[in-house]
Amino acid sequence: MEYKFSDKVSGLKASAIREILKFTADPEVISFAAGNPAPEAFPKEEIAKLSAELFRDDPILALQYSVTEGYTPLREFLKGWMSEKGCFHPEFDDLIVTSGGQQANELSCKVLLNEGDTLLCESPSFIGSLNAFRSYNVNLVGIDMEEDGIDLEKLENALKTEKNVKLLYLIPNFQNPTGRTMSLAKRKAVYELACRYDFIILEDDPYGELRFAGTNVPTIKSLDTEGRVIYSSTFSKLISSGFRTGFCSAPAPIIQKIVVCKQVSDVHSNIWAQVISHRFMTTVDREAHFNKLRAIYREKCGLMCSYIDNGFSDKITYVRPEGGLFIWCTLPDSCDMNAFCTKAVQEYKVAVVPGNSFNIREGDVSHSFRLNYSTPTNAQIEKGMEILSKMTKDMLD
Amino acid sequence: MEYKFSDKVSGLKASAIREILKFTADPEVISFAAGNPAPEAFPKEEIAKLSAELFRDDPILALQYSVTEGYTPLREFLKGWMSEKGCFHPEFDDLIVTSGGQQANELSCKVLLNEGDTLLCESPSFIGSLNAFRSYNVNLVGIDMEEDGIDLEKLENALKTEKNVKLLYLIPNFQNPTGRTMSLAKRKAVYELACRYDFIILEDDPYGELRFAGTNVPTIKSLDTEGRVIYSSTFSKLISSGFRTGFCSAPAPIIQKIVVCKQVSDVHSNIWAQVISHRFMTTVDREAHFNKLRAIYREKCGLMCSYIDNGFSDKITYVRPEGGLFIWCTLPDSCDMNAFCTKAVQEYKVAVVPGNSFNIREGDVSHSFRLNYSTPTNAQIEKGMEILSKMTKDMLD
């Protein structure tokens, strides 16, 4: 029979990155296309120990149904931790544990937007969130980025011209895919626009703890006095991606609606992972662990950047990231980016992600590609970057 | 500030059962209101052992990102297991691992229905699914049930009068809340109506393995020749509820859309739980384990029924379930069901779920209440049912 799908999903496609990842099944291909944490970044011994203790002391806690809001001790810990960081305002915020940061972003859109309402975001932006928003048939409008974050003039222009702007989605720290960080001045300006034009900001911060250079910039949530910011984050890059344990701090009425929507989506997140996350954060020296992660990514990022600086054609430009997992390289306008990426993977056996995967509007031109340094080994970075260096020089110089 | 929510969620309320469960925080209250598996039903030693082995042999598998479709060995196992049961047709079906059966039901609605399209279901039905459907603003229409399942005449009448009927949601085995099982004749008739009126059936089967009396009835999915049935099930009642590991077998084009929607919802389900589920199902004697579960629920159900048969006022009627977790009791028309349930919990300290919690339309009258026998201990069943027996006789005889 012929199947008819709902309008909101009929045009929805799987992430384009997955298409590229198919090439990486070829063992000859070196992949800079993924976004997985380094395997050595997972605290596997500590998790194994905490899990064994949990099954020894309280197995039913790990196996029985739990509450939608999240494991209470983890929620209480997160409220305190986020308060310290200015990301939870006890006087008006509440907090929910979600199935990864992804679920927090998806449900924020579901509870706030009707079909056709406008959701603004940085352009380019994280494809997973973009597709989540698309799956609710909203009017998704991208705002160009500058080196220090979203273009304020273009943002205000969109606020004046687009109808029913309900939400602005931002990844202020080490943005995916650009690796860029929004300046404090822009964070303040964006928050002021939210107050003036009456919309909500969804601040997605999966990489905030992974700063390995430069100085910390306050979150937009920490500037929130009116209850206009939803802050989402995750343990995916800090403890385990496979856990699917994220969280979301937001004004209590918004959390209340997210709770109801999460209840009908998956009842609650895997409780074993929630208990382990809580015990890890409260019984292990977490700052020492985070410092270890920062050291791993500082080294890998530095290694990759040294090849861009010394090996790549000078016609390729990039901004050196101060944290996170990605580097965004831009080719000269004369170069066909898609042809470049296809040639890289098919001829040179090195996979990178074409920049147009992160476009807001299909058909927009991109001259950039994304490199990931967290997943490959140092040896793979060395080998793959040497190949790419030669390729860029052959093609561009 | 004042928050405006999307039309689809603004009227959505948390499960009414959660309100009743608040009373059960009182340690004096005996609760027959939950729906949790018996704690002794979880194979905790086996899971602890499998988990320890996984962390010893392949910790990164348990901690790293995985694919949206589900852990490949688990998917392959499920395809085989479901094929044996007639619930997977290799020639046209595909299968996805979901975050509980709940997610399979929610995403089936999301991919198939536009706002305003009609979704038919049994009346009464499982509140978690009903709220999932409501969260997509569909036209939810309940069809009355008879002892052997949905009323076919009323179903066909709705098919003739309701607009854009896309989906019929059914729990054919040991339905929640009624505990009733749909006859084979009705399953066949419902499938024929699906072919004739061109709609899809969503067959939710969380309790199918928990048959402890009577004879097995073939699933509707096993009758599916045209690719019209989505079959969802879960390990929640078989291995662990806290895992949030369910699955869904359906025609490949539908699974493809569910995969995309799951990807933007939670990327993938907790991978540790998927690996453990796979190893449990393939290395432990699962039939022996299921037989143990059946024995537990046979005994608990029998104990509860013996009090209804011998202690309750004769004016209360019920159908003895042959599996699952619930008993549905019906008061005489003259009795105010809500007053009965309130009195039970407030004066007699025994919590049951008022039948109108499972209503499709708010305001409809119900004379029934739901009893659960899986969560309380045998001693609690004895004490609580003695109290309820006295109460029913005092009030009704």
User: What is the arithmetic mean of pLDDT over B170-185?
Assistant: 98
DSSP string, A231-247: EEEESTTTT-STT--EE
DSSP-assigned letter for residue A323: B
**Is the confidence at residue B77, as pLDDT, over 80?**
yes
pLDDT in tens, A303-337: 999 999 999 999 999 999 999 999 999 999 999 99
Mutation for testing the A interface, residue in B2, B4, B6 having most A CBs under 10 Å = B6
The topology under which CATH files domain A58-283 is: Aspartate Aminotransferase; domain 2 (3.40.640)
| Residue contact A273–B269, C-beta within 8 A | no
Chain B contact for A252 (CB, 8 A cutoff): no
Specify the pLDDT at position A14.
Answer: 73
| Residue contact B64–A13, C-beta within 8 A | no
Chain A contact for B38 (CB, 8 A cutoff): no
Local confidence band at B286 (pLDDT 50, 70, 90 cut-offs): very high
Specify the pLDDT at position A22.
Answer: 73
Specify the pLDDT at position B223.
Answer: 98
CA–CA distance, B296 with B284 (Å, rounded to integer): 19
Residues in A closer than 8 angstroms to B264, CB to CB, are: 12, 102, 106, 128, 131-132, 134-135
Q: How far is CA B56 from CA B61, B143, B269, B274, in A?
A: 11, 52, 22, 17
Specify the pLDDT at position A26.
Answer: 85
Specify the pLDDT at position A106.
Answer: 98
CA–CA distance, B215 with B233 (Å, rounded to integer): 20
From the centroid of its chain, how far is CA A16? Answer: 16
E-strand ranges in chain B read 30-31, 93-98, 118-123, 139-146, 149-150, 165-170, 200-204, 229-234, 246-251, 317-318, 326-330, 350-351, 353-354, 368-372
Mutation for testing the B interface, residue in A133, A267, A276, A289 having most B CBs under 10 Å = A267
- What's the pTM value of the predicted model, to 2 decimals? 0.97
Specify the pLDDT at position A174.
Answer: 98
Q: Quick check: ipTM above 0.95?
A: yes
Measure in Å the smallest separation between the Cα of B63 and chain A Cα atoms: 5
**Is the confidence at residue A292, as pLDDT, over 80?**
yes
Local confidence band at A13 (pLDDT 50, 70, 90 cut-offs): confident
**Is the confidence at residue B16, as pLDDT, over 90?**
no
Phi/psi of residue B141, each to 5°?
A: -125, 125
The partner residue sitting opposite B42, judged by closest CB among A37, A60, A66, is A60
The mean pLDDT value of chain A amounts to 96
Measure in Å the smallest separation between the Cα of A103 and chain B Cα atoms: 5
List chain B domain ranges: 7-43+288-396, 44-283
Is A127 within 8 Å of A357 (Cβ atoms)? Answer: yes
Mean pLDDT lowest among A11-15, A307-311, B295-299, B363-367: A11-15
The proportion of chain A whose per-residue pLDDT surpasses 90, expressed as a percent, equals 94
The partner residue sitting opposite B42, judged by closest CB among A63, A269, A270, is A63
Tell me chain B's radius of gyration from C-alpha atoms: 21
Q: Which amino acid is at B155?
A: L
The proportion of chain A whose per-residue pLDDT surpasses 70, expressed as a percent, equals 99
pLDDT in tens, A58-70: 999 999 999 999 9
The topology under which CATH files domain B44-283 is: Aspartate Aminotransferase; domain 2 (3.40.640)
The partner residue sitting opposite A243, judged by closest CB among B59, B243, B270, is B270
pLDDT in tens, A121-157: 999 999 999 999 999 999 999 999 999 999 999 999 9
CA dihedral A123→A98→B111→A364, nearest 10 degrees, is 10
The partner residue sitting opposite A63, judged by closest CB among B1, B117, B241, is B241
Measure in Å the smallest separation between the Cα of B226 and chain A Cα atoms: 7
pLDDT in tens, B129-175: 999 999 999 999 999 999 999 999 999 999 999 999 999 999 999 99
Specify the pLDDT at position B218.
Answer: 98
CA–CA distance, B140 with B138 (Å, rounded to integer): 6
**CATH code matching the domain that covers B7-43+288-396, chosen among 3.60.15.10, 3.90.1150.10, 3.50.30.10, 3.40.50.300:** 3.90.1150.10
